[in-house]
């Protein structure tokens, strides 16, 4: 059975493209005829400060207009946020997915996050390496979108 609303929460630092990734994902989903929301949440912080962005995707009209507390998918663009933001994993659904920009294996991340017994799926992509090789800059948002 398809979920009524798929909710994605993006975490990154200012300048890494979390906001842009959420907006690009939203634009791509519009092509499928689905209803979509894409919006960031941040204050007057500068480059390097933690940033959160959100997506909601549904086959019917979305009537919720708030941040996402219980995401189906959690995308983390910067592993330093795992230590800097102690509540970064808060609310992820029991059968959720974590997509993390790192060169470490999903098994190592599962251990590090103390999720050994969890049903949460963990996927890792070295998006920073891909970005540096292709663009010469650490912009992990586009490789993470491709993942």
Asked if CATH classification 2.40.50.140 holds for the domain at 5-146, the reply, yes or no, is no
- For the chain, the structural domain boundaries read 5-146
Beta-carbon contacts of residue 13 (< 8 Å; ≥ 6 apart):
47, 48, 49, 50, 51, 77, 78, 80, 81
Q: 27-60: per-residue pLDDT in tens?
A: 999 889 999 999 998 777 677 888 999 999 999 9
Looking at residue 3, its pLDDT comes to: 67
Looking at residue 74, its pLDDT comes to: 98
Weakly modelled stretches of the chain, pLDDT under 70:
1-3, 45
Looking at residue 1, its pLDDT comes to: 41
Looking at residue 138, its pLDDT comes to: 87
């Amino acid at each position: 059975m398809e979920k009524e609303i798929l909710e994605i929460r993006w975490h990154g630092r200012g300048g890494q493209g979390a906001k842009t990734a959420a907006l690009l994902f939203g634009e791509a989903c519009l092509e499928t005829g689905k209803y979509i929301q894409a919006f960031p949440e941040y204050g007057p912080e500068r480059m390097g400060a933690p940033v959160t962005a959100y997506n909601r995707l549904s086959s019917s009209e979305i009537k919720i207009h708030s941040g996402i507390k219980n995401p189906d998918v959690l995308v983390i663009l910067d592993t330093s946020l795992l230590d800097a933001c102690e509540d970064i994993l808060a609310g992820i659904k029991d059968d959720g997915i974590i997509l993390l920009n790192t060169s470490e294996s999903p098994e190592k991340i599962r251990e590090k996050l103390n999720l050994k017994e969890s049903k949460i799926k963990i996927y890792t992509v070295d998006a920073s390496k891909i970005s540096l090789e292709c663009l010469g800059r650490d912009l992990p948002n586009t490789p993470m979108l491709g993942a």
